[in-house]
């Protein structure tokens, strides 16, 4: 200590003290970057899983819609076949003598009753197809938001990695903004479901 109460270190002591503090300051930023990156990687994994699961459900409902539409088409084809048979019976009824008309009238009544049942089944299958199609579209709505969310999270991870290499704090702030956008888009996508 000097006479006026100020103590000065020798140059080599200052170098040792700065060296001891310098890496610690830089290490502090790297610690934050590492924690931030780990959180983003976890968030990205959740977004990716949820996006994949949602797309699988979209495809499942879309396949169900197609399957039900195919069954409905089969029923409509059957309906047309029964209608054709009924028309042929009506033509035959007009051509046969009255003594043989009873058989044709019975067939026409049978085909008419079948058409009602077949039409009801076809309508029900079409309704199931429309329901599955609507459900597929509802589940598909958040997909774009989830994909954009994952892109911004990946950008944030990249910017954080560059921050760790360069020590530039402004890159870390940009990474935070990208992460916030990614999290916001994910929240919006979840709201759409």
Any domain includes 44: yes
Contacts of 136 (CB under 8 A, 6+ apart): 58, 59, 61, 62, 65
The reply to whether 107 falls in a domain is yes
Mean pLDDT of 50-55: 90
The pLDDT of residue 141:
86
pLDDT at residue 57 is higher than 90: yes
Any idea which of 5-19, 91-105, 167-181 has the lowest mean pLDDT? 5-19
Residue 94 lies in a domain: yes
Residue 18 lies in a domain: no
Q: What is the domain count for the chain? A: 1
Listed in sequence order, the residues at least 6 apart from 68 whose beta carbon sits closer than 8 Å to its beta carbon are 125, 126, 128, 129, 132
Q: In the predicted model, is pLDDT for residue 84 greater than 90?
A: yes
Confidence band, pLDDT 50/70/90 cuts, at residue 166:
confident
Distances (CA, A) of 163 to 16, 20, 22, 148, 179: 26, 22, 17, 22, 14
Tell me if 35 is assigned to some domain: yes
Residue 162 belongs to what domain range? Answer: 31-192
Which residue would you say has higher pLDDT here, 23 or 140?
140
Average pLDDT of the residues in 90-115: 92
pLDDT at 160: 92
pLDDT mean over 74-95: 94
Question: Quick one: which of 67, 53, 66 has its CA closest to 190?
Answer: 53
């Amino acid at each position: 200590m000097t006479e006026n109460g100020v103590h000065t270190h020798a140059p080599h002591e200052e170098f040792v003290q700065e060296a001891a503090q310098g890496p610690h300051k830089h290490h502090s930023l790297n610690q934050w970057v590492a924690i931030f990156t780990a959180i983003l990687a976890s968030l990205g994994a959740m977004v990716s899983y949820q996006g994949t699961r949602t797309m699988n459900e979209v495809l499942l409902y879309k396949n169900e819609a197609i399957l039900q539409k195919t069954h409905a088409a089969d029923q409509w084809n059957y309906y047309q076949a029964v209608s054709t048979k009924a028309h042929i019976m009506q033509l035959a009824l007009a051509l046969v003598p009255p003594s043989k008309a009873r058989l044709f009238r019975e067939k026409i009544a049978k085909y008419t009753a079948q058409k009602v049942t077949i039409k009801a089944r076809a309508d029900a299958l079409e309704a199931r197809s429309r329901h599955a199609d609507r459900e597929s579209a509802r589940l598909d709505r958040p997909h774009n938001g989830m994909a954009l969310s994952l892109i911004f999270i990946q950008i944030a991870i990249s910017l954080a990695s560059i921050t760790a290499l360069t020590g530039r704090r402004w890159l870390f702030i940009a990474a935070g903004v990208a992460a916030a956008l990614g999290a916001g888009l994910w929240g919006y996508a979840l709201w759409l479901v």
